[in-house]
Amino acid sequence: MNYDYIIVGAGSAGCILANRLSESGEHSVLLLEAGGKDDSFWFKIPVGFTKTYYNEKYNWMYYSEPEKELDNRSLYCPRGKVQGGSGSINAMIYVRGQQRDFDDWAAAGNPGWSYRDVLPTFRKLESHPLGNTAYHGANGPISISPMRGAVHPICHVFLEGCEQAGYRRTDDFNGEQFEGAGIYDVNTRAGRRSSSSFEYLHPALGRANLTVERNALASRILFDGERRAIGVVVRQNGDVRRFAAKREVIVAAGAVDTPKLLQLSGVGPRALLDAHNVPVVHDLPAVGQNLQDHLCVSFYYRANCKTLNDEMRPLLGKLKLALQYVLTHKGPLSMSVNQSGGFFKGRDDEPHPNLQLYFNPLSYRIPKSSKASLEPEPYSGFLLAFNPCRPTSRGSIEIASNRPEDAAKIHINALTTQKDIDEVIQGCELVRRVMSAPALKAITVEEISPGPQVQDRDALLQYFREQSGSIYHLCGSCAMGADSATSVVDARLRVHGMNALRIVDASVFPNITSGNINAPTMMVAEKGAQMILEDSQRVEIRAARPVEAVARAV
């Protein structure tokens, strides 16, 4: 079967691409998704992420390779295996990042990606209650809900404590003032998750020129003798199927599976491909390199006042909250558990905010077993977590074999630079500084962990090594840049040295953004779709290759 465009991956980016490329009706579009439909109730209700966190039906449930600097632990790296991808299972915090994040993208050799360049695209994709302003849009598909006025009262104690500790407040992390303490925005609509699947893909599913194939695991991209992408091979319900692309193949499988697919297809570092008996189509050394993530650690506290633990742990409390949600679409089940926090400088001489805080009005432990669920601690409690905004350690994604069904090896390579180690200490000290504020001391019985015995820098660093984990913001593994020795795609997201092959997802980030990455991933998809359509007007279509030609390329 022939299509103008084949999109691999129906995640946060792929759903947007499918909508925009099929919008005019001029192009035939095939969207391939390895998972199934997002038709479960748990994808609609915001708190539903607690039910998909360890659900192998909807989650790839990846783990990193043992991390030498993190007590040799393998970190859990959940990835969405469902229509909507990780945007269907995340905690919905909507943060774009700070201006310098994108200015650094442009400075890395990517014209058109500065903050000034991408701001109109952010405004285009969102519908914000503030309306059309210099920083927000009112008519986009993704609905943004400020949680201010709806969060648990203890969150306001946190904000008071931050002010007492000398930190400013901000009313809008996506507005003029990024730095400071505040209440997060979430992408929800009337108490329901507002994902790119619900808002972009679902309305487009009735289009005659858009085809979606689910439970279709892409195993290889097909190329002709001119390094032109001409199709994709998938495994679907036990069958091998081949699809032909007349214009482009667009890979949007995410920071783990996008480099994996390129490597399986013969595009990547020659030594790695040779080691796994993959025929080399193009020796592109940066495929799978430059991997980045935010690593987070939580400090746990027992409170002398009621917190969400008291409402969400007892069965009766769960039933009351569920009834409130069903009747009103309001209450804790309509929001993220990450309700307040902010962006701070770990030291006065830091030029930009370099630490992110999350204040949760409940405390819970990440389960060690996939059979366990996320449950509040059995006491009135809360937690305060932090992660450095722009870690400088770099990891990699590598195929484990030439079998598509085998998960790639994830090397986060954490804490391998002195800057990252220093910022861990800064983060621990920032948490303690905020928690020493009178307002927070007044509601705190004790610090459960790491506990008062952990005080000096070495002990705090060791706590991070033993207890930190991924906060699931993997990106950068097919970075955008001008040099094919150190990057994978150019500023128009075209793979270096290849034809008709693009990457449009979080793997193209040259550097990780400050904050949660779903918003910038959707921005990349909106901007990428525009680029694809613009380029389609400039380049004459080659003669369509029939399915038989694609079959011969296998």
| DSSP notation for 204-244 | HTT-TTEEEE-SEEEEEEEE-TTSBEEEEEEEETTEEEEEE
Report the C-alpha gap between 480 and 243 in whole angstroms: 27
Q: Beta-carbon neighbour count of residue 298 at 10 Å? A: 21
Tokens, residue 117: 């360049």
> Which residue do the tokens 């997802």 mark?
505
Tokens, residue 24: 């005019």
Tokens, residue 510: 């040259």
Catalytic annotation, pick one of 128, 152, 473, 496: 473
Give just the sign of the alpha carbon dihedral 337, 341, 343, 347.
negative
| DSSP notation for 363-390 | -BPPPSSTT----B-SSSEEEEEEEESS
Tokens, residue 144: 């943004």
| DSSP notation for 64-116 | PPPBGGGTTBPPEE--B-BTTGGGGTS--B-----HHHHHHHHHTT-TT-SHH
Q: Beta-carbon neighbour count of residue 467 at 10 Å? A: 17
Element spanning 549, H or E: helix 547-553
Active site residue 276: no
Q: What backbone torsions phi and psi does residue 488 show, to the nearest 5 degrees?
A: -115, -35
> Over the Cα atoms of the chain, what is R_g?
23
Residues 289/394, Cβ–Cβ less than 8 Å: yes
Tokens, residue 450: 């790491």
Q: Beta-carbon neighbour count of residue 164 at 10 Å? A: 15
Pairing relation of β-strands 282-283 and 395-398?
unpaired
> Which residue do the tokens 């945007």 mark?
87
Report the C-alpha gap between 86 and 226 in whole angstroms: 34
Report the C-alpha gap between 38 and 31 in whole angstroms: 15
Enzyme catalytic residues: 473
